[in-house]
Amino acid sequence: MSQIRKPKLGQNFLVDDDARHRIAGSLGDLSTRTIVEIGPGHGAITEILATRCRRLIALELDRSLAAELTFRFRENPNVQVIETDVLKFDFASIAEEGETLDVIGNLPYYITSDILLHLFAAAPLLRRAALMMQREVADRVSAHPGVRDYGLLSASTQMYAQVDNLFTLPPAAFNPPPDVFSTVLRLSFAPRFTELGVDPIGFDRFLRKCFAQKRKTLHNNLRVAGYSPEALAQWPATIPPQARAEQLSLEQMSTLYGALLAFCGDENAVD
């Protein structure tokens, strides 16, 4: 009986030559940079990066692929292959004094959101990232307020980075072909917490409450999350009372957060 098997560890390897060059080229001149590649696989992108960057750290979870690449790049002193789970990788462990890192990866799609969160946690060490992910996820990450795809993933990402949507590839660019189209995004890290006057942990928790139920108004989501009528009476005049979370800019969100926090004293008071 024939059976379609999902590749393990999200292993859909890039076979489109033009595409691998476009990804490798998407962060510009790398000659002075340290690049971290997530999931190098058989080395489709690694091979190009190895000749272009000062230092390349390739993180591969699959033991046999990591061994294959270690052997293949054994004569490239600027390439280091580390067999590890990217989600357990400490970016600080490889950054040199005062250095920022660039990240490239045709991601294992099954952990895209987790990888993004892991990168956000390391944001002060990162300059830019070029990441291939499922098109629908990329559309959500890069969406602007007021469009259908805008949500928690967009708001969270855009607190950490400016996002550019670079290009989209069909399933045929990969072997085996995935069921979905794929898009490459470029993230330029520039966290906005200080500029917007919010603390990262509290504001992240606030965003989760705001976007808890997409069909509810923001006011209703916050009421359900435990904000009292007295707290919600602090609603800023600049924010429409019937607004949904996905309609508000990050500036408006942070204004609302600040008004509620000033009233409640401590964001823990509303948990």
Ligand X SMILES: C[S@@+](CC[C@H](N)C(=O)[O-])C[C@H]1O[C@@H](n2cnc3c(N)ncnc32)[C@H](O)[C@@H]1O
Contacts with ligand X in 90-109 (CB under 6 A)? Answer: 106, 108
Stretch that binds ligand X, among 61-69, 92-100, 165-173, 185-193 (CB under 6 A): 61-69
Closer CB to ligand X, 35 or 44, in the complex: 44
Q: Are strands 13-14 and 174-175 parallel, antiparallel or unpaired?
A: antiparallel
**Among 24, 33, 35, 39, contact with ligand X (rule: CB under 6 A):** 39
CB of 68 to ligand X, least distance (A): 10
Binders of ligand X: how many residues, by CB under 6 A? 23
Assess 147 for contact with ligand X (CB under 6 A): no
CB of 179 to ligand X, least distance (A): 13
- CA-closest candidate to residue 142, choices 114, 160, 112, 165: 165
Q: How many degrees, rounded to 5, is the angle at CA 157 between CA 137 and CA 48?
A: 70
Q: Would you say 224 and 133 are in contact if contact means Cβ atoms under 8 Å apart?
A: no
Q: Would you say 247 and 238 are in contact if contact means Cβ atoms under 8 Å apart?
A: no
Binding-site residue positions for S-adenosyl-L-methionine = 12, 14, 39, 60, 85, 106
Cα–Cα distance, 140 to 159 (Å, whole number): 14
- The pattern of x and - marking residues 62 through 91 that bind ligand X according to CB under 6 A reads x--x-------------------xxx----
Amino acid residing at 150:
Y
Cα–Cα distance, 26 to 258 (Å, whole number): 37
CB of 182 to ligand X, least distance (A): 9
Residue 141: how many CB atoms within 10 A of its CB?
25
Binding-site residue positions = 12, 14, 39, 60, 85, 106
Burial class (CB in 10 A: 0-12, 13-18, 19+), 79: buried
CB of 45 to ligand X, least distance (A): 5
CB of 143 to ligand X, least distance (A): 23
- CA-closest candidate to residue 45, choices 68, 71, 64, 18: 18
**Among 35, 59, 101, 198, contact with ligand X (rule: CB under 6 A):** 59
Binding site for ligand X (CB under 6 A): 9-14, 39-42, 44-45, 59-62, 65, 85-87, 106, 108, 111
